Amino acid sequence: MPHTTMRPPVAVVAVLSLLLAMTSALVGAGPAGAATTDLALSRVYGGGGNTNAPYTNDYIEIFNRGSSAQSLAGLSLQYASSTGSGAFGANSGQLTELPDVSVPAGGYFLVQETAGGAVGAGLPTPDFTDATPINLSGTAGKVVLATGITTLGCNGSTTSPCDAGATTRIIDLLGYGNANYFEGAGAAPTLSSTTDAERRGAGCTDTNDNAADFQAVAPAPRNSASPVNPCGGGGTDTAPSVASSHRPTVRLTSPSERPWT
């Protein structure tokens, strides 16, 4: 007796095909809006111009950990005090809109921020000078590199937590001193007029833990003229997992702005 092949109804086949297509799309998709890039904060200094400062100006240094050039177009640097109530980038003096330029693989980009006084020398030639510069605290604060040029509208604290829309904009976060918002198990060290927060490995170390990734060292900012520092195997970093201070993985804080003169 010949075998008869049972064919499923056309409607069933159509439904199964649709479900398969939806499953494939979900498996291939990453988190919606996640900011993935190899750019990272590599040095932050807020003691410019203060007593014993080697430089007159604050600065923020960006590094490209990846294996190809990365554009800064449409990105911003945003600042919030270590434990205060103000949001990241709440006003022009807390937000630096970055220019439409690219940073080569292993390259540095130096942003000049405010001058805290007359003490110290000028920075090595900045790659960008903010016309409305950020006045970073010399000891403790929070800095983010973010997509978009508008405020994140939060500061990561329990009273002003960053929602999913804000955290997916964060490319990199540095909390230093007694900051209540940071990556990983703890904030980077407390700084002074004679120290900046430097990412280890000349910018290559990134375990998404500010306490482990940064050290307080003598300020030595690098710019686009500095020798490139290729990271072995490229960066391939993902967006940091950031959350408010009551979460075990991240924390935040507010001002002790320029405690010395």
Task: List Cα–Cα distances, 180 to 149, 187, 222, in angstroms.
Answer: 23, 8, 28
Query: For residue 135, what are its two tokens?
Result: 């006045």
Among residues 226, 134, 211, the alpha carbon closest in space to that of 173 is found at: 211
d(CA 158, CA 253): 10
Could you give the number of structural domains in the chain?
1
DSSP assignment letter at 165: H
Q: What's the confidence (pLDDT) of residue 142?
A: 98
Asked if residue 198 lies in contact with residue 42, where contact means CB atoms within 8 angstroms, the answer is yes
For 176-211, what is each residue's pLDDT tens digit?
999 999 999 999 999 999 999 999 999 999 999 999
Residue 18 lies in a domain: no
Statement: residue 148 has pLDDT above 60: yes
Residue 19 lies in a domain: no
For 121-132, what is each residue's pLDDT tens digit?
999 999 999 999
Provide the domain limits for residue 169: 36-252
Q: What's the confidence (pLDDT) of residue 232?
A: 81
Average pLDDT, whole number, for the chain? 84
Q: Which helix (H) or strand (E) holds 159?
A: none
CATH number of the domain encompassing residue 82: 2.60.40.1260
Q: What's the confidence (pLDDT) of residue 7?
A: 54
* CA-atom Rg of the chain in angstroms: 22
Residue 11 lies in a domain: no
The stretch 57-85 carries a mean pLDDT of 97
Residue 89 lies in a domain: yes
For 211-233, what is each residue's pLDDT tens digit?
999 999 999 999 999 999 999 85
First to last CA, the chain: 100
Left if phi > 0, otherwise alpha if psi is -120 to 50, otherwise beta: which for 221? beta
More confident residue, 253 or 158: 158
DSSP assignment letter at 133: -
Q: What's the confidence (pLDDT) of residue 13?
A: 44
d(CA 121, CA 176): 24
Q: What's the confidence (pLDDT) of residue 9?
A: 56
Residue 5 lies in a domain: no
Residue 227 makes CB contacts below 8 A (sequence gap 6+) with none
